[in-house]
Amino acid sequence: MSLQEEVKVKMKELNEHIVCCLCAGYFIDATTITECLHTFCKSCIVKYLQTSKYCPMCNTKIHETQPLLNLKLDRVMQDIVYKLVPGLQESEEKRIREFYQSRGLDRVTQPSGEDTVGGDPMGLPYSTFDHSRAHYFRYDEHVSLCLEKQSSSKDKSKAVLQQKYVRCSVRAQIRHLRRVLCHRLELPLQHVQILFNNEALPDHMTMKQLWLSRWFGKPAPLLLHYSIKDKRR
């Protein structure tokens, strides 16, 4: 794999974590639902919740009557997006400037660093994660995995992962991992199985459940195996 291709793959994997599922663009004014920690653009989720009380990603009920109460602007996430996507912050600021100019309005700008005082124009609070907690979300929301091929005499496939170390969200499930594996190995989905100590793991298991139940207290990366079923059977 060339370096360019590798960068493309990495960006693609990363995108799953910084793209809003409602508009398919990078998060703008990243806003997180406090009940399930799913993140969207502020305008996308606010609009969506005019007709629903449930998270568009996981269907968690956000609030009995007023879902907007359980939204928080997620500055840590927005910073990550701006750092990762070159030019996004500038183009968003330009867009806002033009929007105000086109309507002949003055934009009320807030001095940086004091945004929690004036608050968001819509009244959404900023997430109150303190530094240590922000740190926690930024670094520990992911798990490191090592994917080794299960050696088996029945397995005639030559497919082996070039890059066996994977970092993924604690919310990712085994089925996501299987999908990534199949994609990288260029195999159909039903041919790859993920195992921990010879035990096949269920599709719905999350990385968090896996880590807590099988790897708690052990050093990263968590060791998993994958087996490939013979295509001719």
Q: Which residues bind Zn ion (CB under 5 A)?
A: 20, 22-23, 36, 38, 41, 44, 55, 57-58, 60
Rounded to the nearest whole angstrom, what is the least distance from the CB of residue 209 to Zn ion in the complex? Answer: 17
Rounded to the nearest whole angstrom, what is the least distance from the CB of residue 38 to Zn ion in the complex? Answer: 3
Name residue 231's amino acid: K
Helix%, strand%, coil% for the chain, nearest 5: 40, 20, 45
Distance CA 97, CA 101 (A): 6
CB closer to Zn ion out of 55 and 201: 55
Rounded to the nearest whole angstrom, what is the least distance from the CB of residue 57 to Zn ion in the complex? Answer: 4
CB closer to Zn ion out of 70 and 227: 70
DSSP 186: T
CB closer to Zn ion out of 61 and 94: 61
Distance CA 138, CA 35 (A): 18
Rounded to the nearest whole angstrom, what is the least distance from the CB of residue 54 to Zn ion in the complex? Answer: 8
Count CB atoms within 10 A of the CB of residue 45.
Answer: 27
CB closer to Zn ion out of 23 and 195: 23
> Scanning the structure block, which residue is given the tokens 């990363």?
14
Distance CA 81, CA 232 (A): 45
